[in-house]
Amino acid sequence: MVEQASAWVESPLQMLCAVEAHHAGLLGPRTVVVPRSGLRPLKATHRELRSLGLPDGLELAEPRDRMPRRVQAVGDAFSGKVQLRWLTSRPGRIVIVDDGLATLRLLELLAAGPYRPLLRARAQPTRLRTALGVAASLRLRLSDVSIFTALPVDQTLEEAVRRAGIDLVRHQFAWLRAQPLSAEGPAERTVVLGTSLVRNGLVHRDHYLRWLTDLAAREPLAYYPHRREDPVDVALIRERPGITVHDAGVPAELTLRGLDAGQRVLSLPSTAITSLRVLLSPRGVAVEPVEVPDDWWTSRAAPALRSHLTGVSG
């Protein structure tokens, strides 16, 4: 009997990329994708993916509270639970799929040396948590690990990651691009992707809302909130004249596939810009990053973080 691989996903992008990883053959002939329970965007993404022609050998399981005992694919390499599972089990091959900016931070930490703990940016960990992060870093270096990404990776960084014994596998959403369009995109010419930068305290709320208001005064907008956007902010945006808020709850890579030539997507710095360019540029859709003015940033947005964000979406 062929062994079945398990993928544990905790965000819509992770779920989509787990499907792509299976399609690319990284997980073997049989894979079950297990979403974490209690997350509404994951339910919506689960439903949308089921409506498409899933790759042979792939099963989308019902959401669960607990991670499978043996998990081969994950998205959040900084999760303490994931790291502990790596250390207490024998997962065999480990595949790490895209999880936004966290993927690039993971690559940078792996390239920096074996004793750099795998911890989230801006984390203030305890000694025990730091020790777990170091142990996880060492475990990855001693394992058969592939990082499956659609994000742009600097050549110097890529070479350093490969020297650390990590295989970097690029993809361009081959499975998703082969799927028929299930729905048309929004009627508005301009689509704006929501951002988590405001809720994370990195961008001033009033500047962001004023920009949206001014933009909507010139043309109607279709607005797709970020899954971590503050519901209060989304309610305020919904009240702005000229803005139609779409509560899709699934990755933009899925919801915006139906955009037509002549439409455009605007977004503050986000890794979604890269993936949407892969999917939409052949259709003649412009995907345009919006530079964050200096006075939008809060004191919590360190210069290094600003530079990192700009580099990702440029």
pLDDT band, very low/low/confident/very high, at 312 (cuts 50, 70, 90): low
**H or E segment and range at residue 44:** helix 40-50
At 193, list the tokens: 């992707």
DSSP-derived pairing of the beta strands 190-193 and 221-224? parallel
Asked whether residue 58 carries a pLDDT value surpassing 70, the answer given is yes
| Tens-digit pLDDT profile for residues 264-301 | 999 998 888 989 999 999 999 999 999 999 999 999 88
State residue 256's pLDDT score: 92
Give the separation between CA 201 and CA 183, rounded to whole angstroms.
Answer: 35
% of residues, the chain, pLDDT over 70: 96
Distance CA 12, CA 252 (A): 10
SS3 95: strand
Question: What pLDDT sits at residue 307?
Answer: 78
Contact of 209 with 178, CB cutoff 8 Å: no
Taking the model in full, what pTM does it have?
Answer: 0.91
pLDDT of residue 1: 42
What 3-state DSSP class applies to 243? Answer: strand
Distance from C-alpha of 257 to C-alpha of 74, rounded to nearest angstrom: 25
Q: Which residues in 127-258 belong to E strands, given as ranges? A: 145-149, 167-170, 190-193, 221-224, 243-245
Q: Are 27 and 71 in contact (CB under 8 A)?
A: no
313's tokens: 């979406």
Instruction: Write the pLDDT tens digit of every residue in 109-139.
Output: 999 988 899 998 877 889 999 999 999 999 9
Quick check: 23 and 55 in contact, CB under 8 A?
yes
Calculate the average pLDDT of the chain: 91
What is the average per-residue pLDDT within 233-245? 96
pLDDT digits (tens, 9 = 90+) for 131-169: 999 999 999 998 999 999 999 899 999 999 999 999 999
Q: What is the Cα–Cα distance from 5 to 192, expressed in whole angstroms?
A: 37
Q: Are 106 and 57 in contact (CB under 8 A)?
A: no
Query: Does residue 1 or residue 5 have the better pLDDT?
Result: 5
pLDDT at 100: 86
Q: How confident is the model at residue 314 (pLDDT cuts 50, 70, 90)?
A: low
CA angle 313, 281, 304 (to 5 degrees): 5
pLDDT of res. 64: 92
Q: Which of 56, 79, 57, 101 lies closest to 8 in space, CA to CA?
A: 79
**Predicted pLDDT of residue 40:** 85
